[in-house]
Amino acid sequence: MSAGAPSATAEPTLRRLIVYGLLFALVTIAAIGVAGLLGRLLTLRAELVTGDVQGLARSLAFTLIAGPLTAVLWWVLWRRAGLSGERGSLTWGLYVTAMSVVSLITAASALLAAGADLAAGTWQPRLAATGVVPAAPGGTLHFRLWSGRWAERSSGGGDTGCRHPFARGCRQRRSCRAPACL
């Protein structure tokens, strides 16, 4: 190996860093868009657009562009999850940690502010929407992590032997003889 050649382990690490960073950004942008749309729906006015056409356009663009891109990228990452220890990598742990911390802080601060405003007698639907939307992916992510559905794949053990969509949550546990399903 020559001195100028990159190491073989740097390429997958750099790819993971870029892909998980992109996933983090797309999830955040999609959540901002959905929160904006939900905040408009929760307002008690008959008109959804009252002088803020740019805000509606931004929320729609964030939702309709970042949402499908997030779904496609997540699907690609999920398909690669069992290959070469993707879930056991440091970048996966960094992504899960960053996404959990950001969603927890955003949801807690927005819901506390919405609750304080509600206790004061005013209703701020955009604050409530800003608190509910980040809590959904964070709560779903934690539920799936704690329930053990990703435990086998995140151990970095490679191929689990099961060809079912969710190896750890295989619905054919009694008949499947793959190590992940036993």
pLDDT tens per residue, range 27-85 = 999 999 999 898 888 886 666 666 778 888 999 999 999 999 999 998 888 887 766 66
pTM: 0.70
CA distance readout (Å), 2 to 5, 6, 7, 9: 6, 9, 10, 15
Contact 162, 144 (CB under 8 A): no
Contact 29, 66 (CB under 8 A): yes
* 31's tokens: 């959540």
